[in-house]
Amino acid sequence: MQFKYDLEGGNFSRAGHASSEVKKILKQLNVDARIIKRIVVALYEGEVNVVAHAHKGVVMVDIDEKRIYIRIEDEGPGIPDINLAMQEGFSTASASVREMGFGAGMGLPNIKKNTDQLNIESEVGKGTVLEMTTMISS
């Protein structure tokens, strides 16, 4: 099963739309509630990262019996130092984004904690690709 959702940089009112849709789909598929919770946290953080930092992006979701694979691809500034970005508390978010309660440097750590497998590839000045895989049945 495949789904695709578009993300728009700066449009915070749409952030969470993909997560909300995926949550509904996983519920319908009777996936364990604890696993749904983890996936939703990771996907929401991924959406917010694109909205807060990039120009635009796309979320691609692929679900089979065993696992859910989510790929978030954006056109944006990229991440110069991924290890640094993974550190809790590190953030490059703007003041206005921080005022909304985002940009606390918890996004990528939250994503890592809540996915079974995370892969990040980024090119400065071009964009970032985030791939997250989580097992939905053993």
Partner 1 sequence: MKVCDIKEKLNLTLFCGGLGLDRVVENGYVSDLLSDVMGNANEGDVWITLQTHKNIMAVASLKDIAAIILVKGLKPDEATMAHSEEEQIPILGTTMEAFELAGKLYKLLNS
Instruction: Determine which residue in the list 48, 54, 70, 85 makes contact with partner 1, applying CB under 8 A.
Output: 48
Query: Cα angle at 69 between 10 and 28, to 5 degrees?
Result: 90
- How far is residue 118 from each of residues 11, 14, 69, 95, measured CA to CA in Å? 25, 24, 10, 28
Pick between residue 37 and residue 66 the one whose CB is nearest to partner 1. Answer: 37
Q: How far is the CB of 63 from partner 1 (least distance, A)?
A: 18
Instruction: Determine which residue in the list 5, 7, 45, 79 makes contact with partner 1, applying CB under 8 A.
Output: 45
Question: Which residues, numbered 84-123, are part of the site for partner 1 (CB under 8 A)?
Answer: 100-102, 104, 106-107, 109-110, 113-114
Q: How far is the CB of 77 from partner 1 (least distance, A)?
A: 20
Q: How far is the CB of 86 from partner 1 (least distance, A)?
A: 14
DSSP string, 71-109: EEEEESS--S-HHHHTSTT-----HHHHHTT--SS-HHH
Residue 40 binds to partner 1 (criterion: CB under 8 A): yes
Q: How far is the CB of 29 from partner 1 (least distance, A)?
A: 17
The phi-psi region of residue 56 (left if phi > 0; otherwise alpha if psi is between -120 and 50; otherwise beta) is beta
Q: Which parts of the chain are beta strand (E)?
A: 2-8, 56-63, 67-75, 117-123, 127-135
What residues line the site for partner 1 (CB under 8 A)? 12-13, 15-16, 19-20, 23, 37, 40-41, 44-45, 48, 100-102, 104, 106-107, 109-110, 113-114
